Chain A
Amino acid sequence: IRLMYYEKRVDSRTIYVGHRPCPDTEAFIPSKFCDNRIVSSKYTVWNFLPKNLFEQFRRIANFYFLIIFLVQVIVDTPTSPVTSGLPLFFVITVTAIKQGYEDWLRHKADNEVNKYPVTVLEDGRSVKKESEKIKVGDVVEVVEDETFPCDLILLQSSREDGTCFVTTASLDGESNHKTHYTVPDTEKDLQALPATIECEQPQPDLYKHYLAFLSLGPENLLLKGATLKNTKKIYGVAVYTGMETKMALNYQGKSQKRSAVEKSINAFLLVYLCILISKAVVCTTLKYVWQSKEGQDEPWYNQKTQKEKDTNMYLKMFTDFLSFMVLFNFIIPVSMYVTVEMQKFLGSFFITWDKDFFDPEIQEGALVNTSDLNEELGQVEYVFTDKTGTLTQNNMEFIECCIDGFQYKHRDTRSELDGFTVTDGPVNKLQQKKEELFLRALCLCHTVQVKEAGSEVLADQVDGIDGLLLPQPEEERGFIASSPDEIALVRGAMEYGFTFLGLESKSMKIKNRENNIEEYKLLHVLNFDPVRRRMSVIVQTKSGETLLFCKGADSSIFPRVRPEEVDRIRMHVERNATEGYRTLCVAYKQLSAEEYAVADTGLREARLALQDREQKLMAMYNQVETGMSLIGATAVEDRLQEEAAETMEALQGAGMKVWVLTGDKMETAKSTCYACRLFQRGTELLELTVRTLEDGRLKREEKLLELLRDYHRRAVQDAPPVKAGVTRSWSTANQDYGFIIDGATLSLVMNPPREADASQYRSLFLQICQNCTAVLCCRMAPLQKAQIVKMVKNSKGSPITLSIGDGANDVSMILEAHVGIGIKGKEGRQAVRNSDYAIPKLKHLKKLLLAHGHLYYVRIAHLVQYFFYKNLCFILPQFLYQFFCGYSQQPLYDAAYLTMYNICFTSMPILAYSLLEQHISMEILLDNAALYREIANNAMLRWRPFLYWTVLGIFQGLLFFFGVRFLFSNPALQDNGQVFGNWSYGTIVFTVLVFTVTLKLALDTRHWTWINHFVIWGSLAFYVFFSFFWGGIIWPFLKQQRLYFVFANMLSSVSAWLVIIILILLSLLPEILLVVLRKPRGPHSRQVYLFLPFPF
C-alpha cells in the first residue's frame, strides 16, 4: 500500500515504514534523517572550555576586564595582572561552574530521555533498544503509560476500534484524554507492511501538524512527550525523531528580557567609563607637563632603564595612558556583575519560598522562570490582564438558558432536579420538541470526554484536573474537557434530564429524559477556534438524519441564522451578558444527503491539504456553518477570582493602569470590570466599539476619528493638568475615565484604510488610554492582545508593562510584555511555561508586585548605586595620589587590598543587604499601595540619586585622601619618633575607606537581622584580621614585602587611630545630617521618609 498522496516537493520527506522499499516505487533510497537523540545541552566535555569562554567573553563587561588584564600582562603597569586577573578568573570560573552544572543537568535529562528503553519491531522480531537509536521509519511499540519516544504515526492499536488515548499533560498541560486513530485500512500484519509516508519537514507549531497524507491527519500523529493512556499497546512508525520532533522544535529559546535597572547600570557604566578615561587623560597630560621641567623626569637617584629610554615617546605616552587606565580600572567593578547576578539568583528564591503564594488547591506555590526581572516587578506601570481564568475563576456554572425566546431559570440544581419546571413560557408540544432539540444540541455539540468511573484512568487523572471534577453522587461521572464552559453546558443539560454517556467508536451516546439511550454517529467535529469563535459537530441519528449543531458567541452565530429568529434571543443574551454571564448561542441545521456529501468531501480535502490547510479548513467551516436555525442561548456564570476586586483596587492604588484584554463580549467583560471595581460608579465610560461607530451619516473611519477627537478632548484636554513630575493621573479627586474598545475597532485604529491616518489615530488612542483609569479591550484575538501591549510598551516614556494570563491565548501578550505572569490555571500550562513568573491565583499578584517587587527594586537599586559609590571613593584617593608622586602610576594601596576590596572586604554586607533589606515591612507595603508609586519611573536609579551618590563618593574620597595627607605633613607619627612611609599612608586611607563604606551601608540598613549583623561586623573583623595576617608574615614567593607589619605599626600609633576615627565620622556626618533634616512632616509622609535612605 502506498499511504500517500504523491507529489514530490522539496520540503517534504518520504518515510519507508519498517525500512522496506515500496514495491511500486523507485529504488529504496535510505534517506538521511537525524537520529532520535535529544540534545538540549549546549556543551560537551571537549568543547565546554573554549565554547563557554567564548560565550562569556562576548559579554561587554567581561571583555573589558579581559582587555584590562591583557594590558596588564603586556604593558609595564603599576598593578600586577593578578589584581584584575584574579577577580576576572573568579567571575569566569563561577559562571562557568554554574553554566556547566546547568548543562550537566540538561545532559542528565537528555540521557534519561535518550537511554529510555523502547521496543522496536525489526524483521518481525521485537528488539529492545535505547530510545536514541530509533530511526525514522522504525516501527515502535509503546505500552500503556509510556511516553512516546518520538513523533509516531499510529499504525495499530490494541483497542478494537483502532483508537488510542493520549494525554499531552507534559506538552501543554492539558490533561484530558485525546483520541487518536490508526491509519485506516492497515493490515494487521505490520511486519510485511510495505508503505511509504510522505510528510512535511518538521514544523515547530505544537498545534499544527502538517502531515500530508492521503488519509492521515493530526489525529493519526502521536507526539513525542505525550503519554499513552487507557490503551494497552500501540504500534507506530517514527516520522520525526530527535531534534526534529515537535517537542524539541518547541523548546527553542524565547528572547531574553532585559530589565530597566540593567539599562540604568549601563548608563552609569558609561559615565564611569568617561570618568575613568578622563582621569587617565588628565594624568597622562599632567605627567608630560611635569616631566618637561628640568630634572624631574629622570633625577640622578631614579634613572630609567635602557628599555625605557629606547621607547618611542608616543608609544610611551600611550602605554602611560593604558597604565593609568589599569590603575583606575577598579572604578568599574567586575564584582558588581557577580553581586547583581547573585542577588537576582538568590533573591528569586524568596518568591518561590513564599508560603502566601502557596495554593492548597493545586498544591503548588509560585514559580520563577527567570530571575532577571525581579526588580521589574517593582516598576510596573501598565497591567494587562486576561479576563477568563485570570480575573474570573474559569469555574463555570450553568445558570440559565433560553430556548426559542423563553427563559429557563435554573435554580438550586444540586438539591432538586426539577429545574426545568421553572419556566416563564407555555409548555406545549412544540415547545417540548424545541427544548429537547436544544438539550440534545448541548449534549452533542462539544468535545467533552466522559471519565470512565472506577477504572484506573480515574486515579491518574485526579491530580491533574481535580478542579474540574465535581462530585457526582448519583452517578460516578466526571467530564474532562479543555474548556470548562463545555463541561458546564453538558452538566447543565444533565440537570435537565439529558445525560451524555460518552463517545465510543465514533458514536455518541446520550440518555434522554425517558432514560432511553440515544446513539449518534459522530461524523465531523468542526473545532473551536478563537477567530471563528464557534464550534460545530455533524452527527447522524439512528434514523439516518444528518444534523449539524453549532454553538458559539452571539456575534458569530447571529449572522449565520435566520434573522427573524435572532431578535427573540438577542434580548436574553444581552441581559445575561450585562449580568456578567458568559453566553453562547446554539443553532442547528439539518443536512440533506447531498449537502452532507459536499461538506464531507470538502472537509476531508481541506484537512489533507498540504498548503494553506488552515485557510482551506476555515473556508470550509464557514461554508458549512451557514443557514442554520437558532434554537437558544445559554448563560454560564464565571465567578470572580478570590480577592480579584481587592487586588485590582490595590494595583490601581499603586498607580498602575489596568487594562483588561479579553476575547469575551463587551457586556460580559464590562460587568466583570464593574465587579472587579476597575470601573466604578463614578467612572465615565468612553466607548469605542462597532456599535458606537454605526452612524448613518458618516463612514466608519470618519466616525472613528470624530469619536477619538471627542474622547481626547474630554479625557486629555479638559482633564486638570497633572502635577509636574507625577505622570500618573490616578487620583480620587479627578473624574475617572474608563475606556472600552473592541477588537474590530482596534484593528481599524491600528490599520486604518488610509495608511496616512495611522499615526494620528494611534497617538489619539494612546493619549486617551493613558488618561483613563482602566481600559477594557474586548473581542480581542490573541495577536491583538500582543499588539496592544507592544503599542503601550513602545509609547512615550516606554512604560514598564506586565501581562498576566492563564491560557494559551495569553501567551503572545505574556511574551510581549516586560514582565509576563502566568496563572497556574485550568487552561493548561502554556501560559506558565512562557511566563517569567507563575503564580497560582490572581490575588497573589498584589503581594508579588507591592511587596516583593517593591523590595527587590529598592534592594537592587541601592546595590547598584552603592557599588558605584564605593568604587568611586576607593579609586579617587589613588587618583589624587598621582599628583603627589610625579604622575608615576604609583598605586596608593597594596595589590592585596586592591584585589580584595571588592571581593572580600565590602562585598558581603551589600549582598546581605540586597537580599534581606525591608526598609518598610511587607505588611505596610501591602496595606499602603500608594507606597509603590514612590519608586515609580525608576526613581532610585535616575540621574539625581546617581549624582547624589557620586557627589557623596567624591566628597568622601577627597576627605580620605586629604585628611591623611595633612596628617602626613609630619610623618613622625609614633611615640618613638619613627616615621611612616607610603604604604602606611595607603593603609590608613584604606582602613578609613573600608570602615566608612561599610558603616555607610549600616546606616542605610533599616532591617537588621542577625545575618546583617554577622556580615557587617564580620567583614570589618575580617579586614582587620586579614591585614594583620597579610602583614604578619614574610611571604615566600613574593617579590616585595611592602606591607610587612605596616598595619600593626599603624595601630600602634595614636595619631593614626585619631585620624581614622575623625575621618570616618566626618564622612558620615553629612549623611546623618540629611537624614535628620529630611525629618518627615506628618504621619503619612513618615512612611515615605522611612523608605529612602537618601534624598532626591
Chain B
Amino acid sequence: MMASSYSAKEEDGHHSGSAGLGGAAIRTRKPDNTAFKQQRLPAWQPILTAGTVLPAFFIIGLIFIPIGIGLYVTSNNIKEFEIDYTGTDMSSPCFNCSQSFSWNSTTPCKCVLFFSLDQPFESNVFMYYGLSNFYQNHRRYVKSRDDSQLNGDQRSLKEPSKECEPYRTNENKPIAPCGAIANSMFNDTLDLFYIDPNGTKTQILLIKKGIAWWTDKHVKFRNPGGSNPNLTAAFIETAKPVNWHKPVYELDIDSENNGFINEDFIVWMRTAALPTFRKLYRIIQKKNNMTPTLPRGSYSLEVTYNYPVRSFEGRKRMILSTISWMGGKNPFLGIAYITVGSICFFLGVVLLFIHHKYGNRNNSSDVPN
C-alpha cells in the first residue's frame, strides 16, 4: 500500500524535475503496442460444431469397432486353463495338506491333481499361480521392504530399513531379505506331468527364467558383494526370513538365479494391484512347430503344499495360458472397444439425423432467445 504511494510520489518528483530541465523530456508512459500486451496474439479459434464432430464420430466408430473385434477375437483365441488347488473341499486331493498345515513341519506335504486339456496349447504356455483374498496391496505390506538392501547395499544388509518391522531382525541378526513381502514369499512347488494315453507320466520342462522384468532382474535387484559367486559368504551374519525354510542364498543352485536375483523372488516382490492376482511361475517353451506345446490329453499337477491360505480364506490356483500380443486372456478391452465404437457410430447417425432435420430449419428462423 505505502510502497505504491511512495512510488507515485517518486514519479511526481521525477516528472517535475525533468520538466524543469527541458520541459520536453517528459517520459512517455504509453504502453507498448505488442501483440502479447494488447492480447492480440494470433490465435487459432477452433469451434466444435456438428460439422467437425460428426466425421470424427464416424471415424472413431469405424476405427474402434474393427480394433475391438480384433481384440475380442485375439482374447478368445487365447487358451487358458485354471485349476484351484487350495483344498478347501473334502473331495480335493489337497484337503489333507491344507488342513494339516503347520509352520514347523519339516516334511513337505504333497498332493497331486489330475486334469485334462480339451484343446492343445499351440504356442508358448505360461504357467501362473494365482492367489485370492491375499492383500499384497495392503499399505503395511507394500512398504515392508528395503529396496536398497535388495539392490545389494551392504549397509542396508546389516541394518535393514525400519519399514521392515516386524520382519527386520531375528535373534539380533538382520533378516535378509527383510520385510513382510519377502517373508511371505510364495513357496509352493508346482510340477506338471503329461500323462500319455497309455499311462506313462512325462514331466514337462518348466523354465524359470524370463518370468521377471528384465530391469528388475538386472538392475533393481542385486546380490550383496557384487559378482562374488560365494553367496553364503555375502549373506553371512544375516538371518533368513522367519517363515522361510531355506536362507536366501539357497533358493536355487544356479548362481544366476540365486539370492536376491532369484526370479521367483523378484516376481513375488512386485506387489500385486488387487487382492486377487496371478503371478508368472514358469514358462513352457514350444519345442518345435510340429507338436503343440501342451497337447490335448491328461495331465497331473504335483503340488508341494507349503503355503497356507486357509487362515485368511484365500484361494490358490494354477493357471496355464498362452499369450498374445496384448497379453493374457481378457475380453474387457475388446468389448470396451466394440461398445465405444458402436456408441460413437450410433451417436454419429443420431447427430447426423438431428443435424439434417433441425440444422437447416434453424438457419432460416432466427429467433433470438
Question: Cβ of B312 and Cβ of A299 under 8 Å apart?
Answer: yes
Question: Cβ of A296 and Cβ of B312 under 8 Å apart?
Answer: yes
Question: Cβ of A1011 and Cβ of B19 under 8 Å apart?
Answer: no
Q: A1001 to nearest B CB, angstroms?
A: 13
Query: B253 interface residue, CB < 8 Å from A?
Result: no
Question: Cβ of A463 and Cβ of B15 under 8 Å apart?
Answer: yes
Query: B128 interface residue, CB < 8 Å from A?
Result: yes
Query: A40 interface residue, CB < 8 Å from B?
Result: yes
User: Across the interface, which residues of B come within 8 angstroms of A73, CB to CB?
Assistant: none
A972 to B126, CA, bound (A): 10
Question: Cβ of A304 and Cβ of B326 under 8 Å apart?
Answer: no
**Binary B-proximity of A280-306 (CB < 8 A = 1, otherwise 0):** 000000000000000110011111111
Interface hit among A489-497, A713-721, A1037-1045: A1037-1045
Question: Cβ of A1082 and Cβ of B12 under 8 Å apart?
Answer: no
User: Across the interface, which residues of B come within 8 angstroms of A145, CB to CB?
Assistant: 16, 20
Query: B219 interface residue, CB < 8 Å from A?
Result: yes
A207 to B56, CA, bound (A): 70
User: Across the interface, which residues of B come within 8 angstroms of A304, CB to CB?
Assistant: 140, 166
Knowing A966-B332, A1055-B326, A1082-B367 are in contact, say whether A885-B272 is a contact too (CB < 8 A).
no
**Binary A-proximity of B334-357 (CB < 8 A = 1, otherwise 0):** 001100100110010001001100
Query: B231 interface residue, CB < 8 Å from A?
Result: no
A1060 to B4, CA, bound (A): 51
Knowing A354-B31, A976-B210, A978-B211 are in contact, say whether A922-B39 is a contact too (CB < 8 A).
yes
Query: B55 interface residue, CB < 8 Å from A?
Result: no
Question: Cβ of B313 and Cβ of A303 under 8 Å apart?
Answer: no
Query: A1003 interface residue, CB < 8 Å from B?
Result: yes
Select from chain A the residue with minimum beta-carbon distance to B35: A1009
Question: Cβ of B20 and Cβ of A301 under 8 Å apart?
Answer: no
Knowing A302-B138, A1072-B48 are in contact, say whether A1040-B143 is a contact too (CB < 8 A).
yes
Q: A927 to nearest B CB, angstroms?
A: 15
Q: B163 to nearest A CB, angstroms?
A: 7
Question: Cβ of A1084 and Cβ of B366 under 8 Å apart?
Answer: yes
Knowing A885-B139, A1053-B327 are in contact, say whether A1039-B163 is a contact too (CB < 8 A).
yes
Knowing A354-B31, A972-B328 are in contact, say whether A978-B280 is a contact too (CB < 8 A).
yes
Question: Cβ of B272 and Cβ of A464 under 8 Å apart?
Answer: no
A1021 to B30, CA, bound (A): 39
Question: Cβ of A364 and Cβ of B29 under 8 Å apart?
Answer: yes
Question: Cβ of B31 and Cβ of A353 under 8 Å apart?
Answer: yes
Interface hit among B84-92, B188-196, B317-325: B317-325
CB within 8 A of B278: which of A979, A1003, A1062?
A: A979
User: Across the interface, which residues of A come within 8 angstroms of B19, CB to CB?
Assistant: 459-460, 462-463
Question: Cβ of B41 and Cβ of A1011 under 8 Å apart?
Answer: yes
Q: A333 to nearest B CB, angstroms?
A: 23
Interface hit among B113-121, B144-152, B169-177: B144-152
Name, among A355, A971, A1083, the residue most crowded by chain B CB atoms within 10 Å (CB to CB). Answer: A971
Knowing A358-B30, A463-B26, A1081-B369 are in contact, say whether A975-B326 is a contact too (CB < 8 A).
yes
User: Across the interface, which residues of B come within 8 angstroms of A78, CB to CB?
Assistant: 139
Question: Cβ of B23 and Cβ of A459 under 8 Å apart?
Answer: yes
User: Across the interface, which residues of A come within 8 angstroms of B228, CB to CB?
Assistant: none
Question: Cβ of A1082 and Cβ of B1 under 8 Å apart?
Answer: no
Q: Which B residues, 130 to 162, have Cβ-Cβ distances below 8 Å to chain A?
A: 134-148, 151, 161
Query: A996 interface residue, CB < 8 Å from B?
Result: no
User: Across the interface, which residues of A come within 8 angstroms of B6, CB to CB?
Assistant: 40, 106, 109-110, 113
Question: Cβ of B48 and Cβ of A463 under 8 Å apart?
Answer: no
**Binary B-proximity of A875-886 (CB < 8 A = 1, otherwise 0):** 000000000111
User: Across the interface, which residues of B come within 8 angstroms of A109, CB to CB?
Assistant: 2-3, 6-7, 10
CB within 8 A of A1009: which of B42, B60, B351, B362?
A: B42
Query: B262 interface residue, CB < 8 Å from A?
Result: no
Select from chain A the residue with minimum beta-carbon distance to B51: A1076
Q: B38 to nearest A CB, angstroms?
A: 6
A884 to B139, CA, bound (A): 11
Give the number of residues in B that approach A within 8 Å (Cβ atoms).
Answer: 123
User: Across the interface, which residues of B come within 8 angstroms of A967, CB to CB?
Assistant: 330, 332-333
Knowing A1044-B219, A1053-B327 are in contact, say whether A1062-B336 is a contact too (CB < 8 A).
yes
Name, among B16, B163, B308, the residue most crowded by chain A CB atoms within 10 Å (CB to CB). Answer: B16
Query: B28 interface residue, CB < 8 Å from A?
Result: yes
User: Across the interface, which residues of B come within 8 angstroms of A970, CB to CB?
Assistant: 278, 327-330
**Binary A-proximity of B25-50 (CB < 8 A = 1, otherwise 0):** 01011111100011101111111111
Query: A424 interface residue, CB < 8 Å from B?
Result: no
Q: A975 to nearest B CB, angstroms?
A: 5
Question: Cβ of A1041 and Cβ of B151 under 8 Å apart?
Answer: yes
Query: B270 interface residue, CB < 8 Å from A?
Result: yes
Interface hit among A757-765, A803-811, A980-988: A980-988
Q: A255 to nearest B CB, angstroms?
A: 11
User: Across the interface, which residues of B come within 8 angstroms of A354, CB to CB?
Assistant: 31, 37-39
Q: B273 to nearest A CB, angstroms?
A: 4
Question: Cβ of A463 and Cβ of B330 under 8 Å apart?
Answer: no
Question: Cβ of B147 and Cβ of A1039 under 8 Å apart?
Answer: yes
User: Across the interface, which residues of B come within 8 angstroms of A981, CB to CB?
Assistant: 270-273
Question: Cβ of A977 and Cβ of B328 under 8 Å apart?
Answer: yes
Q: B353 to nearest A CB, angstroms?
A: 12
Q: Which A residues, 92 to 107, have Cβ-Cβ distances below 8 Å to chain B?
A: 102, 105-106
CB within 8 A of A1041: which of B28, B147, B355?
A: B147
Question: Cβ of B43 and Cβ of A918 under 8 Å apart?
Answer: yes
Question: Cβ of A1006 and Cβ of B147 under 8 Å apart?
Answer: no
Select from chain B the residue with minimum beta-carbon distance to A352: B31
A226 to B148, CA, bound (A): 71
A352 to B145, CA, bound (A): 57
Query: B94 interface residue, CB < 8 Å from A?
Result: no
A888 to B180, CA, bound (A): 15
Query: A365 interface residue, CB < 8 Å from B?
Result: yes
Select from chain B the residue with minimum beta-carbon distance to A293: B313
A900 to B212, CA, bound (A): 30
A169 to B10, CA, bound (A): 11
CB within 8 A of B31: which of A102, A358, A971, A1012?
A: A358
CB within 8 A of B340: which of A301, A1041, A1062?
A: A1062
User: Across the interface, which residues of B come within 8 angstroms of A364, CB to CB?
Assistant: 29
CB within 8 A of B135: which of A302, A966, A974?
A: A302
Question: Cβ of A985 and Cβ of B273 under 8 Å apart?
Answer: yes
User: Across the interface, which residues of B come within 8 angstroms of A1040, CB to CB?
Assistant: 143, 145, 147
Question: Cβ of A973 and Cβ of B20 under 8 Å apart?
Answer: no
CB within 8 A of A1073: which of B3, B47, B347?
A: B347
Query: B283 interface residue, CB < 8 Å from A?
Result: yes
Select from chain B the residue with minimum beta-carbon distance to A229: B16
Closest 4 CB pairs of A and B: A301-B184, A972-B328, A40-B2, A1084-B368
Could you name 14 residue pairs across A and B whose Cβ atoms are closer than 8 Å? A113-B6, A251-B2, A295-B312, A300-B243, A464-B15, A886-B137, A890-B137, A982-B137, A982-B273, A1011-B41, A1044-B220, A1076-B49, A1076-B53, A1079-B359
Give A contacts to B, CB under 8 Å. 40, 78, 102, 105-106, 109-110, 112-113, 145, 147, 169-170, 225, 227, 251, 253-254, 295-296, 299-306, 349-350, 352-355, 357-358, 360, 363-365, 369, 456, 459-460, 462-464, 829, 833, 884-886, 888-891, 916, 918, 922, 963, 965-985, 1003, 1006-1012, 1034, 1038-1041, 1044-1045, 1048-1049, 1053-1055, 1058-1059, 1062, 1065-1066, 1069, 1072-1073, 1075-1077, 1079, 1081-1085, 1088, 1090
Give B contacts to A, CB under 8 Å. 1-10, 12-13, 15-16, 19-20, 23, 26, 28-33, 37-39, 41-50, 53, 56, 60, 64, 67, 71, 124, 126, 128, 134-148, 151, 161, 163, 165-167, 180, 183-184, 210-213, 215-216, 219-220, 243, 267, 270-275, 277-280, 283, 308, 311-313, 321, 323-330, 332-333, 336-337, 340, 343-344, 347, 351, 354-355, 359, 362-363, 365-369
Given A145-B16, A462-B19, A979-B277, 12 additional A-B pairs, CB 8 A: A113-B6, A170-B9, A302-B140, A350-B37, A365-B30, A886-B137, A886-B138, A966-B332, A969-B330, A979-B278, A1044-B216, A1077-B354
